[in-house]
Homo-oligomer: A and B are copies of this chain.
Amino acid sequence: MAAAGARTKELENNHSDCFVQLSNPNVATMKEDVLYHFNLSTGTHDFPALFGDVKFVCVGGSPSRMNTFIRYVASELGLGRPGEEYPNICAGTDRYAMYKVGPVLSVSHGMGIPSIAIMLHELIKLLYHARCSNVTIIRIGTSGGIGLEPGSVVITQQAVDACFKPEFEQIVLGKRVVRSTDLDERLVQELAKCAADLSEFTTVVGNTMCTLDFYEGQGRLDGALCSYTEKDKQAYLHAAHAAGIRNIEMESSVFAAICSACGLRAAVVCVTLLDRLQGDQINSPHDVLVEYQQRPQRLVGYFIKKSLGKA
């Protein structure tokens, strides 16, 4: 009977629940797991109680933007009172900020592949320790567009590197390891449908180039270092456009690679702050940039609401 019960449970899990999994057998054997950059530990925090109900994780570079998002999504979902403050769950550190309301977790990741990678390792271990299942994770970020009107939103079809390849390369123990940067195709379509429902701003599905640098790495002419011409830059950006790339940012490739390795349904939704074919500097008025940055939040807020049957 016990065996049959366990088997039924297993079948149920297989059919309905996709638990967050690690690609590392060592963690299950650890007595305590200190998530150093979150200032959280399984020895001092009850992860299943704190995070067990999480179904949506939204991540973005800026801590204050992720705080704005949790307040927005709380209000959209009818959770919490107007003006309610959400405590930073990682208050003991200033590496990242984390907020939660109902099934939604909002986490900052800083700028660049290494910064988001540290956060993702610890976030995925957090979700694993909390025994979360069926989690969708979405990066809501900012980017430079290629051939798009500023303020357009790009839903990433495929994350590619600075050579336009859908790969994330890493050095592990001194050796080159290459991972694929696949994202969830169905989720892309669901988000595109939400954008069409909302119909508030231009949204396209396209490839996203992920670079290790904002200035030379993205062909900018206005950094402290630059050894190429406007013509060289234009040739590179036009080649990127021809390869289906519609925006450039600094986190999508490792985000796609790590999330897919750990069974998380993942998407990237970024607003473009400028059209890189027209310039390099981000010099739109502050209030215009603030409104642009709310667009991925509005789209993903609507997606969550719809997923929960509240839209």
A229 CB to closest chain B CB (Å) equals 9
Q: Which residues of B contact A226 (CB under 8 A)?
A: 23-26
Q: Bits for A266-286, please: 1 = Cβ < 8 Å to B, else 0.
A: 000000000000000111000
Taking A224-B22, A225-B262 as contacts, is the C-beta distance between A232 and B173 under 8 angstroms? Answer: yes
Whether A307 sits at the interface, judged by CB under 8 Å, is: no
Report the separation of the CA atoms of residues A75 and B236 in the bound assembly, to the nearest whole angstrom. 50
Size category, A interface: 35 or more
Q: Bits for A215-233, please: 1 = Cβ < 8 Å to B, else 0.
A: 1110101111111100011
A225 CB to closest chain B CB (Å) equals 4
Taking A95-B62, A118-B214, A223-B24 as contacts, is the C-beta distance between A228 and B172 under 8 angstroms? Answer: yes
Q: Which residues of B contact A61 (CB under 8 A)?
A: 95
Whether A117 sits at the interface, judged by CB under 8 Å, is: yes
Closest to A22 in B: B224
Q: Which residues of B contact A22 (CB under 8 A)?
A: 224-225
Is B213 a contact of A114 with CB atoms below 8 Å? yes
Residue from the list B118, B120, B122, B219 in contact with A173, Cβ < 8 A:
B219
Whether A265 sits at the interface, judged by CB under 8 Å, is: no
Is B217 a contact of A171 with CB atoms below 8 Å? yes
Report the separation of the CA atoms of residues A283 and B44 in the bound assembly, to the nearest whole angstrom. 12
Is B225 a contact of A258 with CB atoms below 8 Å? yes
Whether A110 sits at the interface, judged by CB under 8 Å, is: yes
Is B170 a contact of A26 with CB atoms below 8 Å? no
A127 CB to closest chain B CB (Å) equals 9
Task: Report copies per complex.
Answer: 2
- Residues facing B in A9-37 (CB within 8 A) are 22-27, 30, 32-34, 36-37
Is B163 a contact of A124 with CB atoms below 8 Å? no
Whether A291 sits at the interface, judged by CB under 8 Å, is: no
- Residues facing B in A49-81 (CB within 8 A) are 61-64
Whether A211 sits at the interface, judged by CB under 8 Å, is: yes
Whether A212 sits at the interface, judged by CB under 8 Å, is: yes
Report the separation of the CA atoms of residues A217 and B112 in the bound assembly, to the nearest whole angstrom. 15
A-B contact pairs, 12 of them (CB 8 A): A22-B224, A24-B222, A24-B226, A30-B222, A33-B222, A113-B212, A114-B115, A117-B214, A128-B224, A162-B171, A163-B174, A170-B216
